[in-house]
Amino acid sequence: MSNHILIYGYGREGQSTHDFLQQHHLAEQITIYDARTHLIDWDWDSYDQIWLSPGIPPEQIPVSERHKLTSQANYFFSNLTDDERRKVIAITGSKGKTTTTMAMAHCLQQLGLRAETAGNIGIPLLEALPKLQHGQLDYLVVEVSSFQAQFIRRSPHTAVFLNFFPDHIDRHGDEYAYFWAKANLWWHQQPGDHLVAPKVTAGRFQKPPKNLTAAPKLGPRTYKLESILDATHFRENLGVIPVVLKKLKIKYDTKVLAEALRTTPLPDHRLQLVGEAQGLKFYDDAIAVNPSATIAAVTHLQKEIGGLILGGKSSGDDPTALVRFLEENVPHIFVFVTSSELADELKQIETSLHIVEVKNLEAVMDLVHNSSFDDKHSTILLSPAAKSYDQYANFQEKGDHFQTLVRSLES
């Protein structure tokens, strides 16, 4: 038992950490720090451990104290028994984690297994731990962000690495640090453990881990053509599911699995068709918080896209590749960018694209309302290529606002 623990950050995970530590009597004293609710006078020497919540940069902790840093994810993975560890499927990547995590759990459930999600999706890891310990689950599918993986020192039995695009550079400093934060998910694996990645991702390893298995993408007939899941990047990600099932020696009827894949639930704000108004279709892809994610969305809709809505706090990734991609593939497109860091970055790039900067999403929708779009290019896509923290609490709030504005056009 640690004598004195500091919980640094008191959001959803910080609160669950506090409850867990108290319930299991893992500290004689617990101090909470959250800039909005709990302010303290620092006495760094008095803390035996510092539990850092996701999203809080370690740089906020003095260098001399960082050896005390740990996290809920590190505690979770470090305290699994061998049997519990075999029941955990952990998924990371730059794009598609939530969709793939939900799809994996959904397929396991449709195959008759007791499976739930946790981590960066669903309930915090320490709230899910008792279900594993009490034998209430056959599998726990865990979504792991780079922030959560950063302090992991014991890897799961089955790790899935979907893809890697520059993201969170503002937090991690550079691509190298961002990659190695994620790599903790499989770096500490043992002989007999599994690492599964889409074939396109596996091919990017200069020195592939010995236990790496490349998963082919799902076939083009897995989903209906009008389904967003038919997009190439979704089929690449979801192709890991049959491979993971085989690695875990889970027997299944191919028809049952095919139906499970076809009925995969899609989270909100992922290339979500919001509605139609004034002869236009509106898609919400607010989850696209970096240029690479926006390129993937435009790739799927490019035959019909007429307007693209960008803007937000820079991810730290140079948007030049996005601009060149748009020039080459959708030169006709109208680009609306809200006043933001990304707008300032785009001003530095010479381009033939028609880019209009406006104050906010309301102003964008006013422009859309008063603009004419070719019948062949009648889709408006919100895919920001940047984070939403400049005007919103998160991407969900931005997407919700966009959907409200679309519905007001429909009425």
Question: For residue 52, how many C-alpha atoms fall within 13 Å in the half-sphere facing its CB?
Answer: 22
pLDDT, the chain, mean: 91
Kind plus residue range of the DSSP H or E element containing 280 = strand 280-284
Phi and psi torsions of 347, nearest 5°: -65, -20
The whole-number pLDDT of residue 293 equals 87
Phi and psi torsions of 407, nearest 5°: -60, -30
At residue 396, the 3 state secondary structure works out as helix
Longest dimension (CA), the chain: 67
Residues 109 and 128: their CA atoms lie apart, in Å, by 17
The whole-number pLDDT of residue 174 equals 60
Which of 4-13, 31-40, 331-340, 355-364 has the weakest average pLDDT? 31-40
8 A C-beta contact, residue 104 and residue 243: no
Q: Under 8 Å CB-to-CB from 83, ≥6 apart: which residues?
A: none
At residue 334, the 3 state secondary structure works out as strand
Q: What's the pLDDT tens digit per position in 364-396?
A: 999 998 888 877 888 999 999 999 989 998 999
8 A C-beta contact, residue 377 and residue 306: yes
91-167-177-175 Cα dihedral, nearest 10 degrees: 120
Question: Which CATH fold would you assign to the domain 75-262?
Answer: UDP-N-acetylmuramoyl-L-alanine:D-glutamate ligase (3.40.1190)
Kind plus residue range of the DSSP H or E element containing 370 = none
Specify which residues 400 forms β-bridges with: none
Please report, as a single letter, which amino acid is at residue 64.
Answer: S
Residues 147 and 54: their CA atoms lie apart, in Å, by 5
Where in the chain are the domains? 2-70, 75-262, 272-410
Q: What's the pLDDT tens digit per position in 69-127?
A: 999 999 999 999 999 999 999 999 988 899 999 999 999 999 999 999 999 887 999 99
For domain 2-70, give the CATH number: 3.40.50.720
pTM as predicted: 0.82
Confidence of residue 204 (pLDDT cuts 50, 70, 90): confident
Q: What's the pLDDT tens digit per position in 166-194?
A: 555 455 456 767 787 789 899 999 999 99
The whole-number pLDDT of residue 169 equals 47
The whole-number pLDDT of residue 129 equals 95
At residue 274, the 3 state secondary structure works out as strand
Considering the domain delimited by 272-410, tell me its CATH architecture. Answer: Alpha-Beta Complex (3.90)
- Topology match between the domains 75-262 and 272-410: no
Q: Hey, what are 271's tokens?
A: 């290339």
Task: Please report, for residues 26, 62, 70, 281, the alpha-carbon distance to residue 52 in angstroms, rounded to integers and kept in the order given.
Answer: 16, 13, 6, 42
Residues 303 and 32: their CA atoms lie apart, in Å, by 52
Pairing of β 280-284 and β 272-277: antiparallel
Q: What's the pLDDT tens digit per position in 252-288?
A: 999 999 999 999 888 889 889 999 988 999 999 999 9
